[in-house]
Structure 1
């Protein structure tokens, strides 16, 4: 059952077709190596070598106690197109940090939108040419960022995730400046990408259960979400090396996840990164991600396409 896979070219904002001699089933079953091999990406820096951090239960207990006293507040800015998996990755990392005594929370701009508007926002609301809606979307992102800042400054949380698409450079710079002006000088960018059309479509089909579509039928929900995604893709600005360099020193680290953890890129941007404990936990999360989460996701996608 040979298939043709569509691969997103994030740098050119186009979609190119790539022939594959593998069936979809064998692609998923072969795991991360073959999955990553079907995608062409530009890695800003080499992926860090894997490392294990082994401690005894007593050492771990002492480490966690000291960790809670040493932590510096960190803002994580998510970047990713709709149905890229960014909210899922953020939730998983947030839970992992909380399980390791790093108080974390997610601040979702979409939740703010639903809280304030309390009405169905179809794909037209996300059209970049819809000036009124664009101003509203910016307002919702600002409210989410403001709540994140308040909780960081009051030490209610150690790590706050700004969960929004943040797919334009203008939006990202506005969020950076908002954080910086409020004294939040430790920022990490979490860039989540889904570059295989098969996986992207699998994610979109799951959006029928999105809170935006709780009272809509399946066909309406999927069609509308596809249009929403196309609007975001029109104006998508990938995070570049030049952009990262221009944001130092407040942006301390960059983490990129591609295709459900088939590929990760981690980069420390500040030589005096004051969040080594948190970064160590993030790296542990990355190192174990495919085995704990990514493989299960690919199995679910494979099972879906086998039906």
Structure 2
């Protein structure tokens, strides 16, 4: 069964039920074990070269097109740790495209690896608990199993791009290692090299970082409300996600100028006529970086591509003022409160039934916790 068929099938789909009907399904990991043997290995070569397929180029003096060029697609590759704000920023980027006259006509869609995992794993609506490290999908030694969800999500993304159901695809996953990113770039090269494909893809790396401890605590708190934890006690949810974040932190390698240049020189970018672009948003746009913007425009770049990159540039440059100011205020308000109503089970509450989340959160996600991460 194709990835598209799996992801499009509902929770009652007989196809999905057949594929994932296990005698013992105690964790995400066991589901991936069942599926792992059905995913083919991908080529790892990074030096493919191929000819242009005669794309139509516009001069920079022409007016912006009302519709995207017939063979241009954009893929935004998010990079960042859990609780850094990737999904929020991707939603804001789509809002920005919908409001910018240069990009208002574009069809944008987010492809979220976490949502793929939940859709295929939490068919009962409840996250299965891992009773041992072998069943913990987020344990670094199980990274190969976790990667399968990312591959399924990529397959779905490529399928929808080729079917022309979206113009800008946002691949929302941690993509936290060079190996994972090399795999993504290679898949893009293979796509662009396939003469049977209808479009050419230009990649944009959008790295999202969060080092402010107040921001991280607030984001972890909000994670306890998602589908993974909605039925779990607050303290359990915080501890589990903090452990998950520590696992990712142990493997995380930020995207750097060195990796950017390697992709440009070794891989001939992502095809002769495609560029590579890199942006960063740090602490919700509250911080800046000397490596916040890197661009490699192809020699024959279309005016359309220039308009797209210009729109993303203005989004990143003005992110704090446009979107993050309210977020910072919410963090400050959050830090002043001591209780919140959540309705979780087995959590001590005050007389009003509210959870002393601040005490629990700071006890688990303590300064010592952050020190060990760093």
TM-score tier, shorter chain, comes to 0.7 to 0.9
In structure 1, C-alpha distance between the alignment counterparts of 2:112 and 2:129, rounded to whole Å: 18
Corresponding position of 2:152: 143
In structure 2, C-alpha distance between the alignment counterparts of 1:199 and 1:74, rounded to whole Å: 30
Corresponding position of 2:231: 215
The 8 Å contact of residues 279 and 316 in structure 2, kept in 1 or not, is answered as: no
- How many residues were matched structurally? 242
The 8 Å contact of residues 280 and 316 in structure 2, kept in 1 or not, is answered as: no
Seen in structure 2, the aligned counterparts of structure 1 residues 83 and 122 have a Cα distance that, compared at 3 Å, is farther
1:247 shift after superposition = 1.2
* 4+ runs deviating over 4 angstroms: none
Question: Structure 2 length as normaliser, TM-score?
Answer: 0.61
The 8 Å contact of residues 177 and 252 in structure 2, kept in 1 or not, is answered as: yes
Corresponding position of 2:315: 285
1:1-307 correspondence runs (5 A): 66-70=65-69, 72-99=72-99, 100-118=104-122, 120=127, 124-130=136-142, 134-183=143-192, 184-248=200-264, 249-250=269-270, 252-263=276-287, 265-272=292-299, 273-274=301-302, 275-307=305-337
1:236 shift after superposition = 0.6
Q: Secondary structure at the match of 1:234?
A: helix
The 8 Å contact of residues 127 and 227 in structure 2, kept in 1 or not, is answered as: no
Q: Secondary structure at the match of 2:118?
A: helix
1:121 shift after superposition = 5.2
The 8 Å contact of residues 122 and 224 in structure 1, kept in 2 or not, is answered as: no
1:234 shift after superposition = 0.5
1:136 shift after superposition = 2.6
1:98 shift after superposition = 3.4
Q: Which has the higher helix share?
A: 1
Q: Write the deviation string for residues 2-32 of structure 1: whole angstroms up to 9, x where unpaired.
A: xxxxxxxxxxxxxxxxxxxxxxxxxxxxxxx
Range with bigger deviation, 225-234 or 255-264: 255-264
The 8 Å contact of residues 67 and 277 in structure 1, kept in 2 or not, is answered as: no
In structure 2, C-alpha distance between the alignment counterparts of 1:155 and 1:86, rounded to whole Å: 25
Q: CA-atom RMSD, angstroms?
A: 2.0
Q: Which has the higher strand share?
A: 1
In structure 1, C-alpha distance between the alignment counterparts of 2:285 and 2:129, rounded to whole Å: 30
Seen in structure 2, the aligned counterparts of structure 1 residues 122 and 291 have a Cα distance that, compared at 3 Å, is farther
Q: Secondary structure at the match of 1:125?
A: coil
Q: Secondary structure at the match of 1:160?
A: strand
The 8 Å contact of residues 97 and 103 in structure 1, kept in 2 or not, is answered as: no
Flag structure 1 segments of 5+ consecutive residues without an equivalent: 1-61
In structure 2, C-alpha distance between the alignment counterparts of 1:270 and 1:67, rounded to whole Å: 22
More RCO (CA 8 Å, sep 6+): 1
In structure 2, C-alpha distance between the alignment counterparts of 1:293 and 1:115, rounded to whole Å: 29
The 8 Å contact of residues 113 and 173 in structure 2, kept in 1 or not, is answered as: yes
1:63 shift after superposition = 6.6
In structure 1, C-alpha distance between the alignment counterparts of 2:276 and 2:296, rounded to whole Å: 5
In structure 1, C-alpha distance between the alignment counterparts of 2:172 and 2:321, rounded to whole Å: 24
- Which one has a bigger Cα radius of gyration? 2
Question: Structure 1 length as normaliser, TM-score?
Answer: 0.74
In structure 1, C-alpha distance between the alignment counterparts of 2:184 and 2:251, rounded to whole Å: 17
1:185 shift after superposition = 4.0
Q: Write the deviation string for residues 35-75 of structure 1: whole angstroms up to 9, x where unpaired.
A: xxxxxxxxxxxxxxxxxxxxxxxxxxx977x2424372011
In structure 1, C-alpha distance between the alignment counterparts of 2:316 and 2:252, rounded to whole Å: 25
1:279 shift after superposition = 1.1
Seen in structure 2, the aligned counterparts of structure 1 residues 228 and 96 have a Cα distance that, compared at 3 Å, is same
